[in-house]
Chain A
Amino acid sequence: MKKIVSNVAGRVVACCVEEGARVGPGDEAFKVESMKMEIPVESEASGRIARILVAVGDEVEEGQELAVLE
């Protein structure tokens, strides 16, 4: 299963995709705020967003899964 994982620990401040939407490599899927910076989290693979696992405002760890692709 392909996933979108956070590249940094912080707080999810934006979710730029919806379940069912198609994404490709390099597409911005989330924004995570960490240490006063806003870091874009991009999809590395292409596919359809099957499930979004976090909500805006959630604290996430580096490497945490944010969404599942199919």
Chain B
Amino acid sequence: MKKILIANRGAAAARILRAVKALGLQSVVVYSEADAGLPYVRQADESFCIGPAPARDSYLNQDALLGVMARCGADALHPGYGFLSENAQFAQRVVAAGHCFIGPSPKWIDALGNKAAARALMQRHGLPAGGSTGILPGDDMAAVCRAAEALGFPVLIKPAGGGGGIGMVPAEDAQSLPACWERASGLAVKAFGDATLYLERFIQAPRHIEFQFLADRYGKVLSLFERDCSTQRRYQKVIEEAPAPAIDREAVADMAARLSAILGEIGYDVIGTVEMLYTPDSGFSFLEVNTRLQVEHAITEAVTGVDIVQAQIRLAAGETLSAVIGPGPMLKGHAIEARVYAEDPVRFLPSPGVLKTFDLPGERPGLRIETGYAAGNRVSSHYDPMVAKIIAHSDTREGAMRTLIDALGDARIEGIKTNIPMILQVLRSGRFQAGAMTVDSLQALIPTEAAKERA
């Protein structure tokens, strides 16, 4: 492997570019017309415009990406996260063209991409998946109702072809089920082009805990511990931390070991994250497997000392785990990440615009900033609203919180609105400080904290 094409944009592209350079490999960046002025585009050895701003005409344009690979002689492609990172057909095309796809083998992207099939696979290997059904017939409401009754209300209707919390619809009771089902079906077609749905028992106030794995192409799997991503708004993560606070360490270690064994058994390769829901009463239940690098990988890097992106590239190229990482890394300290979004912190509407001022705190001990933007750049409405990730690492959770709060307080961003005020509110809340966030907490916390400030 000599030359890597980075098929992504923004913070993901900038981060991967750094890893490619650190490995001494040649880098190729692609960009849409809207992204020509982003700073990392100039830092790559080669860069190519692949089309107009809309993602479907550029970052999702498979022919354009494969065309650039052929033209510049890249021998590997890093898909980053989002865009084509979990598109099995694209991964297959990259491999068929004789290139290395820096991710799991396409068969795993395919097998785990269908959420109902992924659940069935994990259950066959002995993983508790909570109550769930298989894919249900969309045209037989009586059968759907029977399945929901058997599972017990409330239930969550989920798209089988989806992921990332998109298109899920809860149903309280049998009366509301048909209307909810119809809505979910419409959302699933729109988001994923696939109307197949299944049901899960709705778990009240769970935590979102996920397990990071690296694996080589020869059946060896390494657990890089867990992340707690319970601070979410509408299933989109806002704050993540590693390790999970205030939890039974033995239960976590046990689950990591079981997942590691399952992934080893099936021959999973390169990189993946298993997302689970957790409550102290019901324990862990399986959510999905993400067959790619995650946005929040940096907190795991902070607490393990492993450069996950470099490791991913080397493992994809065929190196062994023992060559890449050596003996199992230990957990060291605590890390917290905040995702800064271009978003109105009160109305939660997207806030695209030009970054008139974009001063993020500079290098300081225990602080890491990841962004694809610089002052003067436009945050386009065509892409997701994340403008930066701020990652704090310290010996203690309190220390990491302090560093993160200071850094967010020092950030000066003008020209767009950001969610920083909301993040600070959460970090300063008693609930977050107690390590007691569940996936519904953020929504509940905002009005409470606002009311407190008024009082």
Contact = CB atoms under 8 A, between A and B. Distances in A.
B352 A10 contact: yes
Contacts of A46: none
Interface residues of A, number: 12
Contacts of A36: 383-385
B162 to A, nearest CB: 14
B350 A39 contact: yes
Chain A contact surface mostly:
strand
Contacts of B352: 9-10, 34-35
- For chain B, give the interface size range: 10 to 19
Nearest to A36: B384
Contacts of B179: none
Contacts, number: 36
A9 B115 CA distance: 33
A64 interface: no
A24 B325 CA distance: 63
Nearest to B190: A38
B349 interface: yes
B381 interface: yes
Interface string B214-245: 00000000000000000000000000000000
Q: Which of B349, B351, B381, B384 neighbours the largest number of chain A CB atoms within 10 Å of its CB?
A: B381
B353 A9 contact: yes
A15 B342 CA distance: 25
A7 B352 CA distance: 12
Contacts of B382: 11, 35
Interface in A1-57: 7-11, 33-37, 39
A35 B53 CA distance: 12
Interface of A: 7-11, 33-37, 39, 59
